[in-house]
Structure 1
Amino acid sequence: MIIKILGSGCKKCVALGENAKTAAEAAGKQAEIVKVTDFAEIAAYGVMSTPALVVDDKVLSAGKVLSAAEIGKML
């Protein structure tokens, strides 16, 4: 499973990445966390507000920091 965090690298992006890692570990899933800061690549996903959460190339969330529990439900 590849989890991408789309954003500029701000505090919210870092928090979302940490929550995603926690959720994947809690679910017992092998996940690679990738941070995407290139705005052209972010725009290619159709994301207009960051941070955004992408799991296996599906945009699950944009514009908010989800908790580890919320992310866990999506995984």
Structure 2
Amino acid sequence: MPAELLDFTLWCKRRGVVDPQWATFSQWCDARGEWDDAHGWPGGVVARWDEEREAGRGVPYPPFDPSMI
């Protein structure tokens, strides 16, 4: 498994992202999901989700736009 799929900070560093936003975090989660689909995830999908929830703490959500409701 690529190390950057285990470490969101490393994922950002390798892509030159200094101030990660929600879009970057979503890309990381999507890449992890693709890896999981193809190879399985150590500990299963619940372990992957727990890791993603922990890594996502502090990543800012996109601005709220009430017109999108």
TM-score when normalising by structure 1 = 0.33
Indicate the structure whose relative CO is greater, using CA pairs within 8 Å and at least 6 residues apart: 1
Name whichever structure is richer in strand by fraction.
1
Greater Rg over alpha carbons, structure:
2
TM-score when normalising by structure 2 = 0.35
Name whichever structure is richer in helix by fraction.
2
